[in-house]
Structure 1
Amino acid sequence: MKKLVTGILLILIAAVITACGSTASNQSSGEKGKESKEIKIGATAGPYSDMVKKAIKPGLEKLGYVVEIVEFSDYIQPNKALDNGDIDANLFQHTIYLENFEQENNMDLTALLTVPTAPMGIYSNVYSSLDEVKNGATITLPNDPTNAARALNTLRDEGLITINENADPLKVSEKDIDENKKNLKFQPIEAGQLPRSVESADLATVPGNFALAASMNLLDALALENMLDSYRNVVALSAANEDSQLAKDLKAVVASDEFEKVIDEEYEGFGKPEWMK
C-alpha cells in the first residue's frame, strides 16, 4: 500500500512539473512574440515625426505592433541608430542623401519606399505672381549642389530659365543655364537661412522642410517644385531587414487608404510620389 501511494504521488508531482514547464514555455514564447512586435521608428522632429505618429503608427498598431517614435534633431544620428540596431526604421531623408551617407559611412541601409514630401517653393514678399518678376530681380538659392539643382529645375519648370537639355537633372548647376530670361541675380546661401532671405531678396527658393520649420505655409509659395522621386523622403531600413515582416507591413500601411486620407487632410501641399498617383 505504501509503495502504491508513493507511486501515485510521484506521478502527480511529475504531472505538475510538466504542466508548469509547459506554462512557462508558453509564457516565454508569448513574451518573445510580443517583443518581436515592439519597434522603434526614428524621425526628425517636425512634420515627419508627426507623419509617423498620425499616418504610420496607427496602421502598425492595428497589425499588433507596439510603436515607439524616437525624435532626432540632426540628419546624422537617425542613420547611425538604424545601422547599429537602436531603431528599426527611420523617416527623414531622401534617396540621394541616404545613398551618399551609407557610402561615406560604410553602412548597408535601404530605401524601402517613398512617402509624400514637402516640396521646395518659390516665395516672395515683393511679388504676388511670377508673372510680375522684373528684370534683374534677386533670388536666393541653396548653396549645396543637391538643393541648388532642385531650385534650378523649379525655375526652369516655371519658365524663368532654360537649362541645357544634356544636363543631368540631379546635378544641374548655374553653368547649365542656357537662358536667364529675367536676368535673375542668383545669391547662393546656406539652406537653413533661406526662409529668412524672403525678407531681403525679391525671390527665395526654400526647401519644404526648412519652410515648415520656419512656420511658413507651403501654399503661400508662388510655385511649388515638381519634385523628382529621388528627392522625396523615404522610409529606410537596414538592408538585412529589407524582406522582413516589418518591411512588408510598413509597405501595406503606407499603401493603405487610411494613410492617404491622413496625408490629404493633414499635409496640404505635400507632393505625392509616383506610385501614389
Structure 2
Amino acid sequence: MKKQVMLMMALVLIFSVFAAACGSKPGAGTTNNAAGGAAGKEEPKKALKIGATAGPYSDMVSKAIKPLMEKKGYTVEVVEFNDYVQPNKALAGGSLNANLFQHVLYLKKFAEDNKLDLKEVISVPTAPMGLYSKKFKSINDIKEGSTLTISNDAANLYRSLLLLQDIGLVKVKKDADPAKASEKDIEENPKKLNIKPLEAAQLPRTVDSSDLALVPGNFALAAKMDLTSALKLENMAENYRNVLVVNTKDIDSQMAKDLKETIQSKDFEKIMDEQFKGFSKPQWMTGK
C-alpha cells in the first residue's frame, strides 16, 4: 500500500514538471503576449503648457504654435492670463514650459526685479502701435491744436513719442529716458497738439471722442479694431517685439529647439499672413 502511494506521488511530480516545461517554451503563453504588448506600445506624447495673455497672443499660440507643435508629437495646453505678472512667475515656478506675451525690455526688467532666470527663444510677429482717427483721413489733414490721447505708462508713452517723431508731428529730446518718458520729453510740437496721457486700456474708446489716438496693438485688437485702418502704424524697434520665453535652463532643450523651428517655419508665417493681418514681422522673418 505504501509503495502504491509513493508511486502515485512520483507520477504527479513528473506530470507537473512536464507541464511546466511545456508552458515555458519560447513564444508560448503569457510571455509572448507581454512581449507583443511592449513592442506595440506607442511612445507617450510630450506634454507642453504655454502661457499667454488673453487676446492676440493666446490666439497666436492656439491657432499657430499649438497645431504645428502637435504635428511634432507634443500635446499642447494653452494657459490664459489677464495680467503681465503671473505668466513669468508661473513659468519660473514650473507650472508652464514657455510663455508668450512680452517684449525683451519688459522681460529683462521683470526678471531682474523678481530674481527670475528666464530667457527669450525667438521674437514673433507683434501687433504694432497705431495712430487712429475718425476725424482725419491722412497725416496731412491733421489740424493745429488737435487733441491726441496717448498711453501714460513710460514704455508705451516713449513708443508713442517715437511714432509721432517718425511722422514729423513732434521732436523728442535726445536725452529722453525710455524708462521714465513723459510728454515733457517733447522738444518741439509744431502743430501744438493737445496731448492727453491715459491708461492704455482706455485708449480704444477715445478714438471716437478725440481727434487722434495712439493705441498699442494688443489693446486695439482687444477692442476689435482693424490694425490696417490706422493712419500710421509704428516702425517697430526689434526690442519691442514680443518673444517666446522659457526658463534659462531649458534654452538648449529639444522643446525649445522645436518651438523655435515651429515659429521659423513657412507654415507659421502662412498662418500669420492669413489670420494676423497688420502684425509687424521681426527682421529674421522679413530678411531685412
Of 100, 105, 114, which aligns to 1:105? Answer: 114
Equivalent residue number for residue 242 of structure 1: 251
Of 162, 169, 177, which aligns to 1:160? Answer: 169
Stretches of 4+ moved more than 3 A in 1? 1-5, 10-27, 164-176
Q: Is residue 155–residue 178 contact of structure 2 (8 Å, CA) maintained in 1?
A: no
Taking the aligned partners of 1:248 and 1:138, their CA distance within structure 2 comes to 48
Corresponding position: 1:89 with 2:98: yes
* 2:195 aligned counterpart, secondary structure: strand
TM-score (norm 1): 0.88
Q: CA deviation at 1:227?
A: 0.7
Corresponding position: 1:9 with 2:29: no
Taking the aligned partners of 1:188 and 1:199, their CA distance within structure 2 comes to 16
Aligned residue type for 1:204: A
Aligned residue type for 1:6: V
Alignment of 1:121-270 (within 5 A): 121-167=130-176, 172-270=181-279
TM-score (norm 2): 0.85
* 2:256 aligned counterpart, secondary structure: helix
Q: Is residue 153–residue 172 contact of structure 1 (8 Å, CA) maintained in 2?
A: no
Count of residue pairs the alignment pairs up? 273
Corresponding position: 1:42 with 2:57: no
1:161-202 per-position Cα deviation (integer Å, ceiling 9, x unaligned): 122345466765434333212111211111111111222221
Larger radius of gyration: 2
1:210-234 per-position Cα deviation (integer Å, ceiling 9, x unaligned): 0111111111111001111111111
Give the aligned CA root-mean-square deviation in angstroms: 2.5
1:34-80 per-position Cα deviation (integer Å, ceiling 9, x unaligned): 25x11111112221111112211121111111111122222222222
Q: Is residue 154–residue 178 contact of structure 2 (8 Å, CA) maintained in 1?
A: no
* 1:198 aligned counterpart, secondary structure: helix
Identity value in percent: 51
Q: Is residue 153–residue 169 contact of structure 1 (8 Å, CA) maintained in 2?
A: no
Q: CA deviation at 1:275?
A: 0.8
Unmatched 5+ residue regions in structure 1? none
Question: Once structures 1 and 2 are overlaid, which stretch shifts more, 165-174 or 15-24?
Answer: 15-24
